[in-house]
């Protein structure tokens, strides 16, 4: 079947089940865009910036579990994807990024809009490849999807020279099912699993730390079965939050810098840690010299590079958690750790009095982020998909949103990319059109990708945008208050009229200044059929607590400013 390279690109994407391409056209990718006019089984979403395209693809991938696809032209189009690629790499998000490139005879000549995007992206992609011949296209795209979605997922970049897009080939597509030099899932060692089970059975104060690996491995059910047989308390990383329902009796809350009081303090009181699909990020561990001072460590992980990278694993259990967790469950004894869980509850009561109630039911005159998030979460009954940008609102949302379903919290974890939220929320809505998608965003991050309101307007995606406006870069301001003697260097924001901007895009909005207006405004937003911007003016100096200061022990948790 004779096809052009451009047609082969689109037909190959269709073979891989691609629903949407999030992208922005330009000269070097124009042949593929032209071929879209004859293909109706795939929908292209025109974003307003390439960074918006890749963050939208991330939101789509995180909600659906499928590979997100984005597309850009050469030079600046390709380099505008780089932040999103780095974000996807550290957060293990499966993406296929397709960029156009100058014709192959001009490669290396500094031609117009030429950038060596393959060279630039090597450290932040799982794999990348430059296609210079049309005949390569089907095989390379098949490999790209296989690599992106298998094992520990991640982004793959394919750069396609313009002459390869114009070229003609005998088109045939074969899905990739294995590569000789690539073993995405290491074989598990059953003896190690038995050793881990023995350690769990003997432990007096065992503690489960779980992350996004549970979700990426589609192992939520296996994890819950293991958890309930073990009777062990469990805490989550920010990307693992929705893997377990919030109200599960063994769910003790969030780990890390702004995690719960008990989950941090008792890290150094446990005698055994079972780490499941998490990578001991510095935001979780803080000072490694004072972390897990009394505990033996079992680490269940699919990526061998993560074993003993930051925290030494006494019993490493390699493999997919979907396979290893059922075996571990088989060998452990059924137990209840009532007294140990009771210690978490005692410390939670302290946090509840000193922090949580003040955040959720404040007596201050000004509105606080926690109460806004609480009311929205109550009205959506924990069934919505919540997306955040990066900053204080991100921490408030992760702490106070309650979840019933997996894949319901989309945020930028490892890279902490401001500007992620708005396009990611749009991509999430594309992936889950029948679910409410609520974005929590600050005034700083919102303005980084505010142009994507145009994408939302053009596609009529019903994203609910909750702008928590304190006229500051809030998280930086908090650090300046606590550690820089309140020297607020360049963190105050002079903001535009956000409601007028939304109205300019045809998006309905409302600004809330005081508490009596809040409840009805939230109802109006949630009941509105289309996209909606709810801007809430919040206290300028609301801080996120608890807080583990940078470099301190996780035991040294601050419940309030000193």
The string of pLDDT tens digits covering residues 482-539 is 999 999 999 999 999 999 999 999 999 999 999 999 999 999 999 999 999 999 999 9
Tell me the two tokens of residue 476.
């930086």
Domain layout of the chain by residue ranges = 2-170, 190-344, 365-538
Angle at 99 between CA 93 and CA 105, to 5 degrees: 145
Report yes or no: 295 and 232 within 8 Å, Cβ to Cβ: no
**Strands of 416-483, DSSP E:** 437-442, 464-469
- Cα 221 to Cα 206: distance, rounded to the nearest angstrom: 21
Per-residue model confidence (pLDDT) at position 561: 87
For position 562, what pLDDT does the model report? 78
Residue 361, classified by CB atoms within 10 Å of its CB into exposed (0-12), middle (13-18) or buried (19+), is exposed
What pLDDT score does 550 carry?
87
Q: Say what the pLDDT of residue 218 is.
A: 98
What is the pLDDT averaged over residues 281-288?
Answer: 95
Residue 524 to residues 232, 258, 400, 519, 521, Cα–Cα distance (Å): 42, 31, 22, 9, 5
Q: Calculate the alpha carbon distances from 544 to 4, 247, 386, 392, 443 in Å.
A: 55, 22, 19, 6, 17
In Å, how far are 95, 381, 425, 453 from 72, measured between CA atoms? Answer: 13, 38, 20, 19
Average pLDDT of the residues in 313-334: 98
Q: Does 190-344 match 2-170 at the fold level? A: yes
What percentage of the chain carries pLDDT values higher than 70? 100
β-strand pairing of 2-4 with 168-170: antiparallel
Q: Give pLDDT, residue 258.
A: 96
Q: Give me the pLDDT at residue 429, please.
A: 98
Write down the residue that tokens 């298998």 correspond to.
150
Q: Which 8-state DSSP code applies to residue 381?
A: T
> So what's the pLDDT on residue 541?
86
Give 387-418 pLDDT, tens digit per residue: 999 999 999 999 999 999 999 999 999 999 99
pLDDT at 239: 98
- 174 catalytic, yes or no? no
Fold for 190-344, please state it: Rossmann fold (3.40.50)
Per annotation, catalytic residue among 16, 50, 220, 301: 50
- With beta carbons less than 8 A apart as the criterion, state whether 132 and 87 touch: no
**Non-local CB neighbours of 476 within 8 Å, separated by 6+ positions:** 491
Question: Is residue 475 among the annotated active site residues?
Answer: yes
Beta-carbon contacts of residue 308 (< 8 Å; ≥ 6 apart): 299, 316
- Check if 378 is active-site: no
CATH of domain 2-170: 3.40.50.970
CATH assignment, 365-538: 3.40.50.970
C-alpha angle 316/322/323, rounded to 5°?
Answer: 65
At which residue do the structure tokens 């702490």 appear? Answer: 399
DSSP state of 492: B
Q: How far apart are CA 344 and CA 205, in angstroms?
A: 11
pLDDT bucket at 115, cuts 50 / 70 / 90:
very high
Helix (H), strand (E) counts: the chain: 24, 20
Looking at residue 39, what is its pLDDT?
Answer: 86
pLDDT at residue 91 is higher than 90: yes
Q: For residue 473, what are the contacts with CB-CB under 8 A and spacing of at least 6?
A: 391, 442, 444, 491, 493
Mean pLDDT of 178-197: 97
Catalytic residue status for 112: yes
Catalytic pick among 66, 162, 296, 464: 162
Tokens of 463: 């994203």
Residues 23 and 51: their CA atoms lie apart, in Å, by 9
| C-alpha–C-alpha distance, residues 419 and 493, integer Å | 16
**What band does 226 get if pLDDT is binned at 50, 70 and 90?**
very high
Tell me what pLDDT residue 348 has: 98
pLDDT at 86: 98
DSSP bridge pairs for 272: 206, 296
Q: Which helix (H) or strand (E) holds 192?
A: helix 190-202
The predicted-structure confidence for 338-388, as pLDDT tens digits, reads as follows: 999 999 999 999 999 999 999 999 998 999 999 999 999 999 999 999 999
Cβ-based neighbours of 182, under 8 Å, separated by 6 or more: 147
* Contact of 169 with 44, CB cutoff 8 Å: no
Beta-bridge partner residues of 234: 208, 251
Active site residue 162: yes
Q: How confident is the model at residue 318 (pLDDT cuts 50, 70, 90)?
A: very high
Q: Considering 475, 480, 545, 547, which one is annotated as catalytic?
A: 475
From the candidates 15, 19, 30, 113, which is the catalytic residue? Answer: 113
Closest CA to 351 of 283, 400, 278, 392: 400
Give the tens place of pLDDT for each residue, 29-78.
Answer: 999 999 999 888 999 999 999 999 999 999 999 999 999 999 999 999 99
Average pLDDT of the residues of the chain: 97
Q: What percent of the chain has pLDDT over 90?
A: 97
């Amino acid at each position: 079947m004779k096809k052009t390279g451009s047609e082969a690109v689109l037909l190959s994407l269709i073979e891989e089940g691609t629903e949407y391409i999030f992208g922005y056209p330009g000269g070097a990718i124009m042949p593929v865009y032209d071929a879209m006019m004859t293909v109706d089984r795939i929908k292209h979403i025109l974003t307003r910036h390439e960074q918006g395209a890749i963050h939208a693809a991330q939101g789509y991938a995180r909600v659906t579990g499928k590979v997100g696809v984005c597309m850009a032209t050469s030079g600046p189009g390709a380099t505008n994807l780089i932040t999103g690629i780095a974000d996807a790499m550290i957060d293990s998000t499966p993406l296929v990024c397709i960029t156009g490139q100058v014709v192959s005879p001009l490669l290396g000549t500094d031609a117009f809009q030429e950038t060596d995007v393959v060279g630039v992206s090597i450290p932040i992609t799982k794999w990348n490849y430059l296609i210079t011949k049309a005949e390569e296209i089907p095989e390379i795209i098949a490999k790209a999807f296989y690599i992106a979605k298998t094992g520990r997922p991640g982004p793959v970049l394919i750069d396609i020279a313009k002459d390869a897009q114009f070229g003609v080939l005998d088109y045939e597509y074969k899905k990739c099912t294995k590569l000789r030099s690539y073993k995405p899932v290491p074989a598990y060692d059953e003896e190690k699993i038995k050793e881990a089970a023995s350690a769990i059975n003997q432990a007096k104060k065992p503690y489960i730390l779980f992350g996004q690996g549970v979700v990426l491995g589609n192992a939520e059910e296996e994890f819950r079965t293991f958890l309930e047989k073990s009777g062990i308390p469990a805490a989550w990383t920010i990307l693992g939050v929705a893997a377990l329902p919030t109200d599960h009796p063994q769910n003790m809350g969030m780990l890390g810098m702004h995690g719960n009081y008990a989950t941090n303090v008792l890290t150094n009181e446990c005698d055994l840690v079972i780490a499941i699909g998490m990578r001991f990020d510095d935001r979780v561990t803080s000072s490694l010299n004072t972390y897990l001072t009394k505990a033996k460590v079992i680490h269940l992980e699919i990526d061998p590079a993560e074993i003993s990278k930051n925290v030494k694993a006494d019993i490493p259990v390699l493999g997919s958690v979907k396979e290893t967790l059922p075996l571990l469950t088989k060998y452990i004894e059924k137990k209840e750790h009532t007294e140990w869980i009771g210690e978490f509850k005692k410390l939670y009561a302290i946090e509840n009095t000193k922090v949580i109630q003040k955040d959720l039911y404040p007596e201050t005159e000004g509105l606080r982020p926690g109460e806004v998030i609480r009311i929205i979460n109550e009205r959506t009954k924990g069934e919505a998909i919540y997306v955040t940008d990066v900053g204080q609102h991100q921490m408030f949302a992760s702490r106070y949103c309650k979840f019933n379903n997996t894949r319901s919290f989309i945020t930028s974890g490892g890279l902490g990319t401001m500007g992620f939220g708005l396009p990611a929320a749009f991509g999430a809505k594309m992936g889950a059109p029948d679910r409410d998608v609520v974005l929590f965003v600050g005034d700083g991050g919102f303005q980084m990708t505010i142009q994507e309101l145009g994408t939302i307007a053009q596609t009529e995606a019903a994203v609910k945008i909750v702008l928590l406006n304190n006229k500051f870069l809030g998280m930086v301001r908090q650090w300046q208050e606590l550690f820089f003697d309140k020297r607020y260097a360049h963190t105050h924001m002079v903001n535009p009229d956000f409601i007028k901007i939304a109205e300019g895009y045809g998006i309905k909005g409302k600004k809330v200044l005081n508490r009596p207006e809040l409840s009805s405004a939230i109802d109006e937003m949630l009941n509105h059929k289309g996209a909606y911007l709810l801007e809430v003016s919040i206290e300028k100096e609301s801080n996120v607590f608890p807080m583990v200061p940078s470099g301190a022990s996780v035991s040294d948790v601050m419940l309030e400013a000193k």
